[in-house]
Amino acid sequence: MRSPRENPPATTVLDQRCSGILLHPTSLAGPHGAGDLGPAAHRFAEFLASAGQSFWQMLPVGPIGAGNSPYSSPSSYAGSPWLVSLEELAREGLLTRQELAPPASLARARRALFDEAREFRGARLWRAFERFESKPKLSGELAEFREKNAAWLPDYALFCALFDAHGGRAWVEWDEGLRRRRAAALRKARAELARQVLFHEFVQFAFDRQWQALRRRCRSLGLRLLGDVPMFVAPDAIEAWQSPQIFQLDRSGRPRAVAGVPPDDFNPNGQHWGNPLYRWDVLARTRYEFWVERLGAALTRFDAVRLDHFIGFHRYWRVPAGSRDAHGGRFVQVDGDRVLRKLRAALGGLPFVAEDLGMVTEEVRALRDRFGLPGMRVLQFGFNPGAGEHLPHRYRSRLFACTGTHDTDTLVGWFSGLRERDRKRVLDYLGSRRKDLSWAAMRVILMSVANLAVFPLQDVLGLGREARMNRPGTAAGNWEWRAPAGVFTKELAENLAELCLTYDRDPRRASPAAATRAPP
């Protein structure tokens, strides 16, 4: 095994001193129940550029799963149908302005209304598809898109059509021929559901066109996209249907064991995630083709990717199927060096952030460092006993530093829940008063040596716990936060840009301090 010195990290877009903002597209404004890839996304990109930001961080952008979670997607490759902008479809002549008019409940929604949005958007996606069928030019472009994505699109579209035909039942409950992917059963289904299959291909085509348009706009503004890939797939994901041999499943397709987190001081029962586990021995025999293709697909959309639960590349908590909680599980080791070596060779580099939060061992840190991956530091955690490495004065350069994540409370919400003596400690460290808490926190991170500083928009706006995105361990009410109207002001952009300029965080402009250091 080589030491970090013998195996220096490759330069990536994450090595530059810069900053960004975390905001999932569903949290944007828009008239149709949740944000999408339409005009509001382009305006936000323009705001980020004017604010001196280099990265727009998002959560996974695939189809959402149980509890409307982007981390429980049925596909690692598809884009979310609910991110397709109806306004952009109207601009292409596939919808009328009258069809865009939303009911009052959607038009006035201050939080994402996923169920209502799905019903409204789904009907209009079908109308757009019906008009699309009469446009030869677009049909030709779809054929090209289908050919380019032949490795995943046909199966995904059939999977969606079958899911709909079975009333939303998981694939493990389908007839044996379909469940076991018998050739005759699949041929019959493709013939009987041909139009439904074409519809789902069209939706992915529309997503891709809109995504690529947004990415081109971001690149023209000097803005990069930072994505997110979950460690595990959802229990009802298409990958388990396609390739059951790489998962720990029984003959019916149900998990023999599932993923989770062991009990600790905060979770006496641990966490029972329920995701199927990989058969890493089988993955090794395929030269980790699943992971190469999965991360390669993510990098066709994003400039860099956050690897959620990076710990899983070193070891995972195996919980027996049928367990009510995470008790009775055990750790199983993974040859992470072999996995990451293959990924580096196949992908030409590792433009990844390692989400190394939680029960991180020295072995996990060593794996991260051997491959030069930036780890994560969360300012909120730095005030917990024994977690001083999360305080900015202890940062190192190869880090992704933030005030909080999508799973934590907002900075203001977290602060409000502290005891008075702990609040004083936080304010003393930040050198601030309560009214400027968020900006003081951002300032100390921006002035740190960490290469990448990223802030949830909620913290930039100084919002409280009502703006929290997700509460782990709860099933309802998550992922619904949306940015209030009118917050992306010129003044806010100028204030952010000034901070970035002061601390050399805007690669497009040199700060006065940097200029004084430059040779004559």
Length of the chain: 520
Let me know if 385 is exposed, middle or buried by CB neighbors in 10 A (0-12, 13-18, 19+): exposed
Which helix H or strand E contains 365, and what residues bound it?
A: helix 362-370
C-alpha–C-alpha distance, residues 256 and 247, integer Å? 9
Q: What is the DSSP letter of 278?
A: B
Which pairing describes strands 18-22 and 399-402: parallel, antiparallel, or unpaired? unpaired
The identity of residue 477, as a single letter, is G
Q: Which backbone phi and psi does 311 adopt, to 5 degrees?
A: -55, -30
Q: Which of 35, 457, 30, 38 is closest to 211 using CA atoms?
A: 38
- Active-site residues, by number, are 308, 355, 407
The identity of residue 55, as a single letter, is F
Residues facing residue 320 across a β-bridge:
257
Residue 31 in 3-state DSSP? coil
Q: Which of 23, 298, 78, 107 is closest to 203 using CA atoms?
A: 78
Which helix H or strand E contains 392, and what residues bound it?
A: none
| Residue 11 structure tokens | 């330069």
